[in-house]
Amino acid sequence: MRVATLAREDDFDGWRGLARALALDETPPDQVVWQVGDEISDLLGSAAPAAEPKKDYAFSVPRPFIDLARSVVYHRDRARFALLYAMLVRLRRRPELIQDQTDPALRRLEGMAKEVRRDIHKMRAFLRFRELAEPDGGTRYVAWFEPEHHIVRANAGFFVDRFASMRWSILTPELSLHWDGATLREGPGASRADAPEGDPVEDVWKTYYASIFNPARVKIGAMLKEMPRKYWKNMPETALVPELIAGAQAREAKMVATSRNDVATNAEAAWAALREEAKGCRRCPLFKDATQTVFGEGPLDGAIMFVGEQPGDQEDLAGKPFVGPAGQLFDEALEKAGIDRARAYVTNAVKHFKYEQRGKRRIHSKPNAGEIQACRWWYAQERELIRPTMTVALGATAARQMLGKAVTIAGTRGQPHRLEDGGEGWVTVHPSFLLRLPDREAAAVEYERFVEDLKRVKERIEEMS
Ligand code: URA
Are the C-beta atoms of residues 286 and 366 closer than 8 Å to each other?
no
Compute the mean pLDDT over every residue in the chain, rounded to the nearest whole number. 84
Q: Among 295, 310, 316, which is best to mutate for testing ligand 1, by the most ligand atoms less than 8 A from CB? A: 310
Q: Is the CB of 367 under 6 A from ligand 1?
A: no
> What are the residue ranges in the chain where pLDDT is below 50?
202-224, 237-260
Clarify whether residues 96 and 132 are in a common domain: no
Are the C-beta atoms of residues 274 and 318 closer than 8 Å to each other?
no
Ligand 1 center from residue 464 Cα (angstroms): 28
Q: What residues make up the domain containing 45?
A: 2-122
> Closest ligand 1 atom to the C-alpha of 398?
3
Round to whole Å and give the CA distance between 343 and 297. 10
pLDDT one-digit tens code per residue, 304-339: 999 999 999 999 999 999 999 999 999 999 999 999
Clarify whether residues 49 and 175 are in a common domain: no
Q: 3-state class of 228 per DSSP?
A: coil
Per-residue pLDDT, 251: 36
Beta bridge partners of 139: 133
- Among candidate residues 107, 122, 137, the one where a domain is terminated: 122
> Closest ligand 1 atom to the C-alpha of 314?
7
Residue type, 411: G
Q: 3-state class of 371 per DSSP?
A: helix
Q: Is the CB of 382 under 6 A from ligand 1?
A: no
Q: Is the CB of 315 under 6 A from ligand 1?
A: yes
Clarify whether residues 118 and 133 are in a common domain: no
Clarify whether residues 443 and 342 are in a common domain: yes
Number of folded domains that form the chain: 4
If you write DSSP's letter for every residue of 101-159 in order, what string do you get? TT-HHHHHHHHHHHHHHHHHHHHHHH--EEEEE-TTS-EEEEEE---SSS-HHHHHHHH
> Closest ligand 1 atom to the C-alpha of 349?
3
Per-residue pLDDT, 224: 45
Are the C-beta atoms of residues 46 and 19 closer than 8 Å to each other?
no
Residue type, 231: Y
Residue 422, domain member (yes or no): yes
Clarify whether residues 393 and 426 are in a common domain: yes
Per-residue pLDDT, 238: 47
Tell me how far CA of residue 81 lies from CA of 20, 185, 435, in angstroms.
Answer: 12, 27, 50
Q: Model-level pTM?
A: 0.52
Torsion of CA 149, 153, 159, 161, to 10 degrees: -140
Long-range Cβ contact pairs of 158-164 (< 8 A, separation 24 or more): 158/124, 159/127, 160/184, 162/208, 163/204, 163/208
Ligand 1 center from residue 313 Cα (angstroms): 9
Ligand 1 center from residue 290 Cα (angstroms): 14
